Structures are given as C-alpha cells and as structure tokens.
Amino acid sequence: MATELQTGLLCALVLGACGCVSPRGRLFSYTTTPYSLPYEAASRVGAKSCRLDITRLKEPFSRARVSVQWSNRAVADAMQKAGMTEVRYADVQTLSILNGVYERRRLIFYGE
C-alpha cells in the first residue's frame, strides 16, 4: 500500500514539474503562442518565414537577479535572408528549462 502511494505521488510530482498539470512546467516547458501584431494584415499568414532567437541565462541561487541575454541576429537581417519584405503574422516559441534558468524565445515571422 505504501509503495503504491509513493509511486502515485512521484508520478503526480513528475507530471506537475513537466507542465502536464500546471500551466507551466518547473523542469521543462515548450510552448508556442501567437504574437500580436498591431495592424490589420496580421490576419493573413504569408508563404515565407524567418526566425529570430532570443536566449537568456539566469543565475538561480542568489537573489541578485543576474542574467545574460543575447540574440542571434536582427529582425531585418533575418527577413532579408528569407526574402521577405512584409510581415503578416508572428508566433513566439518559448523553451524553458529549470523554471526559467535557461530560457529561449524564438520569434517566427510569416509574410511575403
């Protein structure tokens, strides 16, 4: 009986830590959400796409809130490389490990 209870509690802990029960996983989460664009053309998705990565690394032990954030390239460079001239829609993919100690946000732009 005790082992079944321990196994059940362990399973609930693992599911909650990975985001299966809670809205955001404590150990690992990977989400994709639409990014709001402030104009009317955002309702149509284009045929071309480009990506922009924004990565952040936080120091989790002290309360100093020390973090480092970097990006791989500018939006204009990514659009030019994909041959895009107009942005119509965007998504944000977020990868979070260890409750945000490592976090990568990827902006995916769609357009023509």
For residues 7 and 23, the model is more confident at: 7
Using alpha carbons, select from 81, 92, 85 the residue that is nearest to residue 50: 81
Better pLDDT: 14 or 64? 64
Check pLDDT > 80 for residue 14: no
**pLDDT of residue 85 exceeding 70:** yes
Express as a percent the part of the chain with pLDDT over 90: 1
User: Residue 111 pLDDT more than 80?
Assistant: yes
The pLDDT assigned to 100 comes to: 82
pTM value > 0.85: no
